[in-house]
Amino acid sequence: LAEDDQETVYALVEPLHPADIADLFELIEVEERPVLAKAINDLMGSEVFAELNDHVRELLVESLPAEAIADIAEQLDTDDAVAMLEDLDERDQQAVLAEMEPEDRAAIESALSYPEESAGRLMSRDFVAVPEHMTVGDLIDFLRDSHELANEFWEVFIVDARHHPVGTCALSWILRTPRAIRLTDVMQRDQTLIPVSMDQEEVALRFQKYALISAAVVDESGRLVGQITVDDVVHIIQEEAGEDVLLLSGAGDGDVNEPIRDSYVSRVRWLVANLLTALLGATIISSFSGAIEKLVALAALSPMVASIGGNAGTQTMAVAVRALATNQLTRANTRRILWRELRVAMLNGGTVATLIGLATALVFASPLLGAVIGAAVLTNIVTAGLAGVLVPVTLDRMGQDPAVASSVFVTMITDSMGFFAFLGLAVASGLVG
Amino acid sequence: LAEDDQETVYALVEPLHPADIADLFELIEVEERPVLAKAINDLMGSEVFAELNDHVRELLVESLPAEAIADIAEQLDTDDAVAMLEDLDERDQQAVLAEMEPEDRAAIESALSYPEESAGRLMSRDFVAVPEHMTVGDLIDFLRDSHELANEFWEVFIVDARHHPVGTCALSWILRTPRAIRLTDVMQRDQTLIPVSMDQEEVALRFQKYALISAAVVDESGRLVGQITVDDVVHIIQEEAGEDVLLLSGAGDGDVNEPIRDSYVSRVRWLVANLLTALLGATIISSFSGAIEKLVALAALSPMVASIGGNAGTQTMAVAVRALATNQLTRANTRRILWRELRVAMLNGGTVATLIGLATALVFASPLLGAVIGAAVLTNIVTAGLAGVLVPVTLDRMGQDPAVASSVFVTMITDSMGFFAFLGLAVASGLVG
C-alpha cells in the first residue's frame, strides 16, 4: 500500500462487491485503513459504508471531513445513515447534519430522537403505503408513475384515512391478481405491527417467530411511520445470538476490530470481579488450613471439586441463558425447566461422583477419602444445576441481561460450595481433625 | 387438560397464530403434549408443524400414524417436510413416503438424498423461473394464469435454454416497470448462486453478507434446482450463532426440550473430559506437596492463579471462536489478531498481577510471596491469551469446529500453567524449600 501503488490497488479492488470491499478493510492493519480509503476514494460509496464493521466505520468516519460524511449519509437508507452518525460525538454530528439536505436531515434527526437499539432507529422511512380504495391495477399504475419510491420493498402496506395500517400485501399476490380486484380483498389483515419504541432484540424475535420479510412500524397513536425489512434484522439476530457467548465469558463487545483500550477496560473489569469471587474460595480454603496441614492431599483434590462444579454450572447456565434469550424459558415453565435441569444434574453428579470417588479411594488407599470427595462432587454438581438456572432467571426478572453477570455469581457459588463441601465433609467425617 | 375440558381448550387455542400454538406445546409438560395435539386435532395444520421445536415435533410425529404424517407433509413446503421426516427412522420414513402423492414423494426423496445441513435439504423446489425472452407484461400474464405457483416468492429467476440462472429480478422492479420492457433489461446479473452441497452455515453467512432475500440453488452442472428464502435462513443464523455458547460450555444441543437422557449423555461426556484435565492440575499440586506442607497458604492461593488464567483464557477464546464463525478471523489476519490479543493480555495481566501481588504481600506480610503470585498471574494470563487464540485457530485448520473442544484444551493449559508457575516460582525463589 505504498503511495505509488495506488493505481494497482484501485485496479484490484474495483471489481469487488461492496460487501467484499468492506471485508477487506477488516483484514488489513489498522494504520493502513485510512490509506486504503484514500486510494480507492471514489469506490467508497454508500454501499461499502453500510457493510463496514462498526469499529472500522467509526475510524474511517473520523478521518473524513463533515462534508464528505454528509454526502455518503445522504445516499444511505435512513437506518444505515443513523448507524454511521450515532457514534459521532454531538458536535461532529451537528456539523454533518448541517451539511445535509433538509429532508434527509429531518429523517435522521427524527430517527436519532428514538432510544438506541429501538425499532425507531432501525426502521426505514422509505416504504409504500396506499389507501384502502385502491385496486391492484391502481397500485401497479401508481408504482410505475412514482419515481421517488423506496429502493427495496417486498410488501405494500394498506392504510386507512388516519394512516393506520389495516393490512399487508405481498408483492407476489399483487402480481398474481387481476387488475380489477381491490387490494382490501387480497391483503392479509393479520399483521405484526412493531411499536417504534420496541427493543431491537424483541423486533428480531418477532421476525423470526412469524417468518416476516418486512413489518410496519407504528407510533404511539398507531400511525404508520416506517418499515423494517428482514435484511436489517438478520444482523441483529446474528449479533444478539452471538453476543451471549461473549457476554458470558466477560469479553465485552468481543469484536476483533474493537480498539485495544476498550477491550482492556471491559475485560479487566471482569477479571477483577472474578478475582474477588476467587478470594472467597481462598478464604474458605484458608479456614481449613489445619485440616490441609494434616492431609496435604486435600490441597490437591479441592480444586478438582470446585472445577467440576464450575463446569456443570456453566453448562446449565448456558442452556438457561439461551432459553431466556429465545423466549423458551418463561414464567410459565420455569419450575418445569428447573426440575428438568435438577434431574440432569443428579444423573451427571451420580456418574462423576462415582468415578472420582472410586479413583480417589484406590489412589490414596482410603475409602473414606473417596466417599468424602464423591459426596462433595455430587453436592456441588446439584448445587451447580440449581444455580445455573436460578441465577440467570433471577437476573432476568430483575430486568438485567442474564448473560452479563450470571457467570460471576454461578462460579462464586460453585467454587465456594466445592471447597466448603469437600473440606467441611473431610473434617465432619473424622477423616482429619 | 382433563378429557372433559377438550372443548374449552379448543376454544382457547383456536384464535392463536400457528407460531403461538407451536410455542404453547413447548410450555406444557411433556406428557401433556400428545393430549393437547389430540384435543386440537384439526388446528394442527402444517403451519403449526413447521413452527414446532425439533424435539417437540419428533415426539408428536412419533405418536401419529404414517397416514396422518403424510397428510401434513404434503401440505408443507419441501424444506419443512424434510425437517419433519429426516428424524424418523428408516422404516417409518418409508411408511410415510409410501402414503404420499408421487410428486411430493419424489421431491422429498430427492431432498433427503443431499447431506444433512446442506443447501439441498434447505431449499424449496417451489420457485418461479422464466425464460430470457419474456417481457414484464408476459411475466405478469404468466403469473396471473398459473395456479400451481410457489406460496411465497420475492424474486423471479431468469434462466437460459439450459436452465442456468442468468439473472434475478425483485418483484418490486417488475411492478414498477412498463409491460413492454424485457426482463433481461431490468434483472440484476450479479447473483449469489448457492451450490446444492453448500453447508447451511455458509449459506447463512452469504445471506447475511449480501443482504439477500432469496437465492437460486444450482446443481453441479449449474442448473437451477431450487430457491432458498431468507425466512428459512433466519433460524439457521440464530441457531448457529447461539450454538457457540452451548458448545463452548459443553452443553451439547442445549435445547430445553431435548430428552433428559440425551442431555445427560452429551453433558456427562464433557464433565468426564474436564475431570481428566483437572486431574492433571491435581497431579501438579501433588508434586509440590512438600512446599505446601511448609507453607499452607500456597494451597489457598494456587486455585486463584489457575482460576484467573481460566477466566482470561475463556474471554480470548470466546472472541476467537466468534471471529472464526463470522469469517472475521482468517489466515490473512491470524498473526495480527494474535498480536492484538497478546497486547490485551499483557495489559490485563499487568493490572491483575499488581492488584493480587500487592494484596498478598500485605495480607501475608511477605513481599516475596506477593512477587511470586504476581509473576505467576502475569505468566498465566499471557499464556491464556496465546492459548485462547491458538487453540481455536488450530482446531479450525484441522477441520474441527473450534467451539466444540477449545475450552477443554484452554482450561487444561491455564490450570496447569497456573499451578505450575505459582508453585514452581515459590520453590525456585527460595520462598519455600
Q: Is B413 on the interface with A (CB under 8 A)?
A: no
Interface test with B, best of A256, A308, A327 (most B CBs within 10 A): A256
Q: In the predicted model, what is the mean pLDDT of chain A?
A: 88
Task: State the cell numbers at A404.
Answer: 452479563
Q: Render B236-247 in DSSP notation, one character per residue.
A: HHHHHHHHHHHH
Q: Do A181 and A135 form a contact (C-beta atoms < 8 A)?
A: yes
One-letter amino acid for residue A402 of the chain = P
By the CB < 8 Å criterion, does B281 face chain A? Answer: yes
With a CB cutoff of 8 Å and minimum separation 6, the contacts of A26 are A53, A56, A257, B328, B333
Local structure of residue A399 (DSSP, 8 states): T
- Closest-CA residue of B relative to A287 is B300
CA A175 – CA B263 distance, rounded (Å): 49
Cell numbers found for residue A358: 472410586
CA A132, A135, A140, A146 dihedral sign is negative
Alpha-carbon separation of residue B404 from A259, B247, B253, B285 (angstroms):
28, 5, 11, 28
Stretches in chain B below the pLDDT threshold 70? 1-4, 148-151, 433
For chain B, say whether A107 makes contact (Cβ under 8 Å).
Answer: no
CB spacing of A144 vs B176 below 8 angstroms? yes
d(CA B423, CA B429): 10
Where does residue B124 rank: exposed (0-12), middle (13-18), buried (19+ CB within 10 A)? buried
Instruction: Give which of A262, A266, A268, A264 is closest to A87, Cα–Cα.
Output: A262
Q: Pick out chain A residues at pLDDT < 50.
A: none
Give the fold, CATH level 3, of A129-245: CBS-domain (3.10.580)
CB atoms near residue B13 (< 10 Å): 17
Are A303 and B285 in contact (CB < 8 Å)? yes
Residue B70 in contact with residue B36, Cβ under 8 Å?
Answer: no
Nearest to B140 among A175, A237, A279 (CB): A175
Buried b / exposed e across A308-328, counting CB within 10 Å, b at 16+? bbbbbbbbbbbbbbbbbbbeb
CATH fold of the domain at A3-115:
MgtE N-terminal fold (1.25.60)
Q: ∠ at Cα B56 (B53, B61), nearest 5°? A: 115
Tell me the shortest Cα–Cα distance from A287 to chain B, in angstroms. Answer: 9
Query: In angstroms, rounded to a whole number, what is the distance separating the alpha carbons of residues A339 and B77?
Result: 37
User: Do A230 and B234 count as a contact with CB atoms less than 8 A apart?
Assistant: yes
> What class has domain B3-114?
mainly alpha
Fold of B129-230: CBS-domain (3.10.580)
Report the 10 Å Cβ neighbour count for B90. Answer: 7
Q: Would the CB atoms of A268 and B307 count as touching at under 8 Å?
A: no
Contacts of B296 in chain A (CB under 8 A): 289, 292-293, 299
Could you tell me if B416 and B342 are in contact, meaning their C-beta atoms sit under 8 angstroms apart? no
Q: What is the predicted pLDDT for the residue at B148? A: 67
Element (H, E) at A83: helix A78-85
Residues of B in contact with A139 (CB under 8 A): 175
**Topology of the domain comprising B259-428:** Tetracycline Repressor; domain 2 (1.10.357)
C-alpha cell at A19: 460487501
Residue A120's contacts (CB-CB under 8 Å, 6 or more residues apart) are A111, A113, A114, A196, A197, A217, A226
Q: Distances in Å between the alpha carbon of B33 and those of A299, A328, A420, B45, B57?
A: 50, 16, 42, 15, 10
Q: Where are the alpha helices (DSSP H) in B149-229?
A: 171-176, 183-186, 200-209
Instruction: Please name every residue paired with B118 in a beta bridge, in sequence order, or none if there are none.
Output: B199
Q: Does B271 touch chain A (CB under 8 A)?
A: yes
Query: Helix or strand or coil: residue A113?
Result: coil
What is the SS3 assignment for B174? helix
CA gap A261, B343 in Å, rounded: 10
Is B257's Cβ below 8 Å from some Cβ in A? Answer: yes
Question: Where along chain B do its domains lie?
Answer: 3-114, 129-230, 259-428
Measured between beta carbons, the chain B residues lying within 8 angstroms of A324 are none
**How many angstroms separate the CA atoms of A30 and A261, rounded?**
14
pLDDT tens digit sequence for A83-128: 888 878 888 888 888 888 888 888 888 888 898 889 998 888 888 9
Query: Is A340's Cβ below 8 Å from some Cβ in B?
Result: yes
Counting beta carbons within 10 angstroms of the beta carbon of residue A92, is it exposed (0 to 12), middle (13 to 18) or buried (19 or more)? Answer: middle
ipTM, two decimals, is 0.82
Answer yes or no: are the C-beta atoms of B91 and B60 closer than 8 Å. no
